[in-house]
Amino acid sequence: MSLLTLDHVSKSFGALKVTDAVSFEVAPGEALGIIGPNGAGKSTLFNLITGNIAPDEGRVLFDGVDVTRKPPMSRVAAGIGRSFQIPQPFTHLSVFENLLVAANFGGGHHGHHAGEFCMDILDRTGLAGVADATSGGLSLLQRKRLELARAMATSPKLILLDEIAGGLTEAECGALIDTIKSIHAEGTAIIWIEHVLHALTSVVERLMVLNFGKMLMIGEPDEVMASPEVKEIYLGIEV
Amino acid sequence: MIWVDTIVQGILLGGLYALFAAGLSLVFGIMRLVNLAHGDLIVLAAFLILTVVNLLGLSPFVAVLIAAPVMFAVGWALQTYVLNRVLGDDILPPLLVTFGLSVVIQNGLLEGFSADSQKLSAGPIEAASLPLGPITVGVMPLLTLISAVAVIFALNQLFYRTKLGRAFRATSDDAVTAGLMGIRPRNVFAIATGIAMVVATIAALYLGIRANFDPSIGPARLIYAFEAVIIGGLGSLWGTLAGGILIGVAQALGAAVNPEWQILAGHIAFVLVLLIRPRGLFPRAND
């Protein structure tokens, strides 16, 4: 049985159809990459999965349950974790507290165990040294790591990563990919929107291409990238 | 020596203003909601305490233990059924709704309790005093200030040491992201307003023992509370205590010069702080 199913999901903002009858499935533990030009509706798709936006048509199923009308907090508890493209830490909370909030309310971890669980994640994401720092003062790399760490703290079955490698140097990107690989190795399913293609293809098993809200193609990364249609639309190459 | 006495009396009076303001500060800090009915809710709590005292023959100090949970429920219901519906990017709807609520509470109290002045009677403790070096302070004013410090301390512990407090701060930072962490912002807001009403009940106890009250005095309490919150810096609870004390001292000094100047002196102090430090004495670092 698939972990996440989108069944003909559509969403319009005014006359603009940002998500157009998108259907796909993600198996438990699978890693799926999403690519597409700016404005293709990638982040909107995430908002539809997390419940921040309600679809006009179609259904979203998670773990065998129809969550189409469920609010974001129920979906977090069910196991959908998310990181944002533009990091949105709770700036008045320390790095550790940011994780603790996610672990307490999203992951259902309590008491001492929650604290240890969070410290472990901070270790894995290279943030242990700044655990007590106010998250408002972090660097971009640290904020990106915090996005990932906080999503991990909700104990997700599926983690949504939105351009987490964007704006990072090659070396910074490498460490982040290693962490993402380790999350994947533990059996957490991943949907990852990314423009940094080599980062994406080193992790995901399948790749989806979105364009003007429509799913253009989904399949093995090599196959998708070799398609002339994708080359033309996504990479802007005339063939 | 008379000046030392005046300043001490002002500091003690400031405790009462800080109690008025603490609930307002809490609610503003968490949901950026300015509750224009806050003063009237304090008066409502005072009438509730009075009713419990009259019905059960209890001391006001015991009656407050019954009134506080009732007011928590009032705050919770008010937030859940009214204020949560009007919170949003536009700040005008909550202002209009709480302004309307202020009118409703005043007239409701007028209907139920008439315009007569009421007072809570605490017995002999009202007249008791303690020698403090060369000056003498009243036990009730001292108790008021101690309560204000205790309330602010307790709220700070709640904010920075508990799971609920972290949820308060996370929701205050970004309610949408808080939802993605599993927090239910509307529940958090309802609990926060409930707690603000418990603080308002404590304020009502000392208000009712210190002076006469009637259904019309809420808006003036709101003004003092507002000034204390703004002087202290929006969202800072210790700042709110400092703001309350500053107004109290200014009023006491004004009254010592000329009794007619008491209220005016408090407002002038407020304006001076705004001129010198527009963001208050202790603004939060990155707002």
Residues in chain A within 8 Å Cβ distance of B180: 50, 52, 72-73, 76, 82, 106
Same domain, yes or no: A177 and A136: no
Neighbours of A71 (CB within 10 A): 15
In this structure, what are the phi and psi dihedrals at residue A154, rounded to the nearest 5 degrees?
Answer: -80, 5
- Asked, for residue B73, whether it belongs to a domain, the answer is yes
Average pLDDT over residues A93-100: 95
Same domain, yes or no: A213 and A147: no
| Winning range, highest mean pLDDT, from A210-219, B120-129, B243-252 | B243-252
Q: Do B173 and A92 touch (CB under 8 A)?
A: yes
Q: Do B170 and A154 touch (CB under 8 A)?
A: no
Q: Which two tokens stand for residue B236?
A: 């800072």
Tens digits of residue pLDDT in A99-132: 999 999 999 999 899 999 999 999 999 999 999 9
Say whether pLDDT at A239 is over 60: no
- Asked, for residue A233, whether it belongs to a domain, the answer is yes
* SS3 category, B229: helix
How far, in whole angstroms, is CA B191 from its chain's centroid? 17
Q: Structure pTM?
A: 0.89
Tens digits of residue pLDDT in B62-84: 999 999 999 999 999 999 999 99
- Asked, for residue A71, whether it belongs to a domain, the answer is yes
Q: Which H/E stretch holds residue B160?
A: helix B139-161
- Asked, for residue B235, whether it belongs to a domain, the answer is no
Q: What is the DSSP string of B74-129?
A: HHHHHIIIIIHHH-SS-SHHHHHHHHHHHHHHHHHHHHHH-S--B----GGGGT-E
Range of the domain at B8: 2-217
Average pLDDT over residues A208-224: 91
Q: Do A73 and B179 touch (CB under 8 A)?
A: yes
Domain count, chain A: 2
Q: Do A100 and B286 touch (CB under 8 A)?
A: no
User: B177: nearest CA in chain A?
Assistant: A88
Same domain, yes or no: A168 and A148: no
What residues of chain B, 148 to 177, have a C-beta less than 8 Å from chain A? 163, 166-167, 169-170, 172-174, 176-177
Range of the domain at A147: 89-155
- Asked, for residue B269, whether it belongs to a domain, the answer is no
Q: Do A77 and B182 touch (CB under 8 A)?
A: yes
- Strand pairing of A158-162 and A189-193? parallel
Residue A225's pLDDT is: 86
Q: How many angstroms away from the CA of A90 is the closest CA of chain B?
A: 6
- Asked, for residue B74, whether it belongs to a domain, the answer is yes
What's A7's domain CATH number?
Answer: 3.40.50.300
**Domain-ending residue, one of A112, A129, A155:** A155
Same domain, yes or no: A178 and A226: yes
Say whether pLDDT at B285 is over 60: no
Say whether pLDDT at B109 is over 50: yes
Residues in chain A within 8 Å Cβ distance of B237: none
Same domain, yes or no: A111 and A211: no
CB A162 within 8 A of CB A84: yes
Same domain, yes or no: A233 and A136: no
CB B151 within 8 A of CB B68: no
Same domain, yes or no: A120 and A232: no
Residue A234's pLDDT is: 65
Query: In B183-217, which ranges are continuous DSSP H helix?
Result: 185-210
Tens digits of residue pLDDT in B242-283: 999 999 999 999 999 999 999 999 999 999 999 999 899 888
Tens digits of residue pLDDT in A37-50: 888 899 999 999 99
Same domain, yes or no: A138 and A162: no
Per-residue confidence at B1, pLDDT binned at 50, 70, 90? low
Say whether pLDDT at B287 is over 50: no
Same domain, yes or no: A164 and A231: yes
Same domain, yes or no: A49 and A114: no
- Asked, for residue B164, whether it belongs to a domain, the answer is yes
- Asked, for residue B250, whether it belongs to a domain, the answer is no
Average pLDDT over residues B45-56: 97
Sheet holding A57-62: strands in order across? A16-26, A4-13, A57-62, A65-66
Tell me the CA distances in angstroms from A39 to A24, A35, A45, A60, A168, one per residue in order. Answer: 20, 11, 11, 22, 21
Domain count, chain B: 1
Say whether pLDDT at A238 is over 60: no
- Asked, for residue A84, whether it belongs to a domain, the answer is no
- Asked, for residue A236, whether it belongs to a domain, the answer is yes
CA A23/CA A15 separation, integer angstroms: 21
Same domain, yes or no: A74 and A98: no
Same domain, yes or no: A56 and A165: yes
- Asked, for residue A2, whether it belongs to a domain, the answer is yes
What residues of chain B, 171 to 230, have a C-beta less than 8 Å from chain A? 172-174, 176-184
Tens digits of residue pLDDT in B126-165: 999 999 888 899 999 999 999 999 999 999 999 999 999 9
- Asked, for residue B274, whether it belongs to a domain, the answer is no
Tens digits of residue pLDDT in B184-213: 999 999 999 999 999 999 999 999 999 999
**Domain-ending residue, one of A128, A155, A182:** A155
CA A60/CA A55 separation, integer angstroms: 9
ipTM of this complex: 0.83
- Asked, for residue B69, whether it belongs to a domain, the answer is yes
